[in-house]
């Protein structure tokens, strides 16, 4: 029996600013709420594919809504065929270049199209891709912390079962980084993975100096020590680092990862579904990571990433940073320190009354 290929009927995007459980302070700024764009891809099969993207700032919300709906208009009546759509988008934006808002829009549309296919098949995404949902170990992702002021929260993370904690650094001097890492390590004990994220705030020489100073505290990884586009700088830092280097949340599409891996920029990689080209891009990077034996983690988007890590040969850690929980009907849940993906599709369902509350018009 042959079924007709599902087609896209319309694309809708909505902007909102969702509350988050705790603010995330980085070396550069503090995120106190999550500017999100919700994407709905309506199909002719009675299902609507859904995905959300994180706009980083409210300044990009309206341009993203506009861009997604404009691209969506061109997709009307096209088959829900994410691989083909990605190839078409690559060609369409080749001369413009698609790093930035266009890449975020394209990646979000890709995720929503895959979600529609999962819903039509009535199967979780990880199953549709040939695997099955399984518990993916997660770390609790903090901003800048203070070992005294944040002791209660950190202990609560351990009580929830998290076996990994990530904190931010680089907001002060090297002595401050050491004070915080020493305090947090003492609080967590030796058996919890502790990661530090510098959010691109250092230069290679300073990064090398700070990483050496943090060596006694058995850090699990050092994240984005230098600006993300400085691949040779990452490689230079990595050369002498006693701790593995992690990066990838700001590398664009599979080609970006190919360049970074060729440059020897990091020991671990952590693509962001919204910058890597959605589900389609993620799969291509997972192949690269497997071939190069590079452990691969996720960035944000816990619900969708739990599906993707279930079909990632070198799956490492899932980042748990709850930016969308307030507007999802079924937010990702931590059980024994792990997240198990839910379907159908990416398992993303809007809590419409919450969406209405936080909508930006
Ligand atoms: Mg990071």
Distance from C-alpha of 177 to C-alpha of 342, rounded to nearest angstrom: 38
23 and 168 assigned to the same domain: no
Q: How far is the CA of 1 from the centre of ligand 1 (A)?
A: 47
Indicate whether 1 pLDDT > 70: no
Determine which one of 220, 236, 275, 299 is catalytic.
Answer: 299
Percent with pLDDT over 70 in the chain: 99
Q: How far is the CA of 223 from the centre of ligand 1 (A)?
A: 6
Q: What is the mean pLDDT of residues 144-153?
A: 97
Query: Looking at the 3D structure of the chain, how many domains does it have?
Result: 2
Distance from C-alpha of 53 to C-alpha of 137, rounded to nearest angstrom: 23
Instruction: Tell me the Cα Rg of the chain.
Output: 20
Indicate whether 3 pLDDT > 90: no
Domain with 48, as residue range(s), is 8-125+353-358
14 and 41 assigned to the same domain: yes
CB 154 within 8 A of CB 188: yes
Indicate whether 8 pLDDT > 50: yes
Which residue is listed with tokens 């599979």? 254
Q: How far is the CA of 269 from the centre of ligand 1 (A)?
A: 11
Which residues make beta-bridge pairs with 165?
A: 140, 194
Does 66 participate in catalysis according to the annotation? no
> In the structure, what pLDDT confidence band is assigned to residue 56 with cuts at 50, 70 and 90?
very high
- The single-letter DSSP state of residue 4 is P
Distance from C-alpha of 341 to C-alpha of 133, rounded to nearest angstrom: 5
CB 224 within 8 A of CB 217: no
| pLDDT tens per residue across span 293-305 | 999 999 999 999 9
Q: How far is the CA of 346 from the centre of ligand 1 (A)?
A: 23
Q: How far is the CA of 50 from the centre of ligand 1 (A)?
A: 25
- Tell me how many degrees the CA angle 113-115-117 measures, rounded to the nearest 5: 75
| pLDDT tens per residue across span 58-117 | 999 999 999 999 999 999 999 999 999 999 999 999 999 999 999 999 999 999 999 999
| pLDDT tens per residue across span 177-223 | 999 999 999 999 999 999 999 999 999 999 999 999 999 999 999 99
117 and 160 assigned to the same domain: no
- pLDDT recorded at residue 4: 79
| pLDDT tens per residue across span 239-287 | 999 999 999 999 999 999 999 999 999 999 999 999 999 999 999 999 9
Determine which one of 137, 166, 168, 236 is catalytic.
Answer: 168
pTM, full prediction: 0.97
111 and 136 assigned to the same domain: no
121 and 134 assigned to the same domain: no
Indicate whether 2 pLDDT > 60: no
The CATH number of whichever domain residue 144 belongs to comes to 3.20.20.120
331 and 226 assigned to the same domain: yes
193 and 341 assigned to the same domain: yes
Does 168 participate in catalysis according to the annotation? yes
| Structure-block tokens of residue 276 | 């890597």
């Amino acid at each position: 029996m042959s079924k007709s290929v599902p087609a896209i009927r319309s694309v809708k995007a909505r902007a909102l600013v969702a509350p988050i459980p705790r603010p995330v302070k980085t070396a550069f700024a503090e995120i106190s709420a999550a500017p999100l764009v919700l994407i709905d891809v309506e199909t002719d099969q009675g299902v609507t594919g859904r995905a959300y993207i994180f706009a980083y700032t409210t300044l990009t919300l309206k341009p993203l809504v506009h861009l997604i709906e404009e691209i969506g208009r061109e997709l009307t009546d096209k088959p829900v065929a994410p691989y083909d759509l990605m190839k078409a988008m690559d060609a369409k934006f080749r001369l413009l270049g698609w790093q930035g808002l266009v890449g975020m829009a394209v990646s979000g549309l890709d995720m929503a199209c895959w979600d529609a296919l999962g819903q039509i098949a009535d199967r979780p995404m990880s199953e549709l891709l040939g695997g099955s949902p399984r518990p993916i170990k997660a770390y609790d992702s903090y901003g800048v912390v203070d070992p005294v002021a944040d002791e209660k929260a950190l202990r609560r993370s351990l009580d929830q079962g998290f076996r990994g904690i990530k904190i931010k650094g680089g907001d002060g001097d090297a002595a401050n980084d050491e004070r915080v890492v020493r305090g947090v390590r003492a609080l967590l004990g030796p058996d919890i993975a502790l990661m530090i994220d510098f959010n691109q705030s250092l230069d290679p020489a300073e990064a090398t100096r700070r990483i050496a100073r943090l060596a006694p505290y058995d850090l699990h990884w050092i994240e984005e020590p230098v600006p993300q586009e400085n691949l040779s700088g990452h490689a230079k830092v990595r050369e002498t680092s006693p701790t593995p280097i992690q990066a990838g949340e700001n590398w664009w599409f599979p080609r970006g990862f190919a360049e970074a891996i060729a440059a020897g920029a990091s020991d671990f990689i952590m693509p962001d579904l919204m910058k890597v080209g959605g589900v389609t891009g993620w799969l291509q990077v997972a192949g690269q990571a497997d071939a190069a034996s590079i452990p691969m983690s996720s960035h944000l988007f816990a619900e969708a990433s739990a599906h993707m890590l279930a079909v990632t040969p070198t799956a490492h850690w899932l980042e748990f940073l709850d930016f969308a929980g307030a507007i999802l009907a079924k937010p990702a849940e931590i059980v024994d320190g792990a997240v198990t993906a839910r379907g159908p599709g990416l398992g993303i369902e809007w809590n419409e009354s919450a969406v209405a509350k936080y909508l930006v018009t």
